[in-house]
Amino acid sequence: MIRRTACLIARGTDPYRNLAIEKHLMDTLPEETAILYLWQNNRTIVIGRNQNPWYECRVTDFRESGGKIARRMSGGGAVYHDMGNLNFTFILPKTEFDIPRQLSVVRMAISSFGLEAYHSGRNDLLIDGRKFSGNAFFKSGYGAYHHGTLLVDCDLDVMARYLTANPAKLQYHGVESVPSRVVNLKTLAPDMTIETLQGALYRAFTSVYQYAPAVLDERMLDQPTIRILTAQFTDPEWLYPKSFPYAFTISERFPWGCVTVRLAIEDGVIRNVRLFTDAMEAGLFTVLEQTLNGSPYLIAAINGRLRQTMEELRDPQLLQITGDISLLICGRIRELDRTAQHESSAEAPARQR
C-alpha cells in the first residue's frame, strides 16, 4: 500500500542527467512510496533499450544540428523531446505497479483542460484518434517505473525531419507520416503551458494516491551517484551498437512490435546476435541474444535453445514473442537454403556444358 508520495521537478534539461536521476530515484525508493518525477530534455531523441539509433533517426544530421541521442532503460520506440514536451515518470514499488491507475493521473490532469484522453494499443494516449503521449515501463529490484511523453507545444516539423519511422508501423496505424498521427495538446487547449500542466499533474497525483506529495529537490540526491549514472547514460558503448559482419538479417512487424534479427556467423556457429526492437518487454531480448549466441547455425539447434527458454517463461506475452522470433529466424534460414539449392542446381548444367 502507498502511504507516502513525493514529487520532483528536474532543474536541468540534459537528457543523460535526467535519466540518471530517474534511475537513482527508483534504486533508492523507500517502502510504500510513490514518486512523480517531471522533467524536460532539450532537443533530444531518446531511443528504447533495444533499438538501433541508426534505424530510428538521422543520427549524423541530428547531432550536427546540436541534438543529442539518448538511450533509456525501458523498451518501446524512439521519441523526440524539446522544450515543448513534458516527460513524466511514476516511480513506485513493483507490488503497487498499476498501469491503469498511473494513466488515470495523466488523464485526470488532461481533463482539467477540458480534454478527454483514452488509452490505445500497447502504450499510447490519444485524443480523437491522435497520439499525444507514448509510455514505457521498467522494473528492477524492489522498484519499477512508468514514464511517458506529453506533447504540449513540440516542434512536429523537427520531429518529422529527424525521426525515421518504420513504414510498417505507420501502415499499421493507417497513417502516412509521423505528424499526421500525433497532436500537440496546446492545439486542443490553447491556454495550456508546461507550467500549468505540471500543476495539473501534481494535483491529479495527489487525488489518485490520496496523499499530498512532499516536494523534492534534485540537490537532495546523492550527487556522486548521479554523476556516475550520468556517465553511464552518456557512454557511446551504451548509446551505439558495435559493428559486426552480420551475414543474416531479417525484419518483421508483430502485434507486440517491430524486430530486426541480425546474426554474425563463423564456421557454422552464431558468434554474435542482435535483436533490435521497439517491443515493451525490454529484458527478454537480452535473454534471447544470450540464448542464441554460440548456437550452431542449424534450425534444430536454434529451435532447441529457444524452446528451452520458453519452458522457463510463464508470461504468455513473453512466450508469444519467443515463439515468433523462433519462427522468424527458422523461416528465413529455410528460405536461404532453398535459394542456395536453386542456385546450385541452376549452376550444374552450366558446368556440364
Give the CATH number, domain containing residue 296: 3.30.390.50
**Over residues 155-174, mean pLDDT:** 75
Domain's final residue, options 208, 239, 270: 239
Could you report the per-residue pLDDT of 265-315, keeping only the tens digit for each? 999 999 999 999 999 998 999 999 999 999 999 999 999 999 999 988 888
Of 197, 218, 239, the residue that ends a domain is 239
Rounded average pLDDT over 45-61: 97
* 169: pLDDT strictly greater than 70: no
Residue 155: which domain range? 4-239
**Average pLDDT over the chain, rounded to an integer:** 93
Q: How far apart are CA 4 and CA 22, in angstroms?
A: 18
What pLDDT shows up at residue 179? 60
Q: Are residues 298 and 171 in the same domain?
A: no
Per-residue pLDDT band at 190 (split at 50, 70, 90): very high
Which pLDDT score is estimated for 339? 82
Beta bridge partners of 146: 90, 137
Instruction: Tell whether 23 and 87 lie within a shared domain.
Output: yes
State the pLDDT at residue 350: 54
The answer to whether residues 281 and 186 belong to one domain is no
Domain count, the chain: 2
Could you tell me if 172 and 103 lie in one domain? yes
- Asked if the model's pLDDT at residue 353 lies above 90, the reply is no
Global pTM value: 0.90
- For 99-133, the pLDDT digits (tens) are 999 999 999 999 999 999 999 987 899 999 999 99
Quick: pLDDT tens for 237-270. 999 998 888 999 999 999 999 999 999 999 999 9
**What is the sign, positive or negative, of the torsion defined by CA atoms of 197, 201, 204, 210?**
negative
Task: Say yes or no: 229 and 282 in one domain.
Answer: no
Same-domain check for residues 189 and 41: yes
Q: What is the CATH number of the domain that holds 129?
A: 3.30.930.10
Residues 256 and 170 in one domain: no
- Point out the domain boundary residue: 200, 216, 239: 239
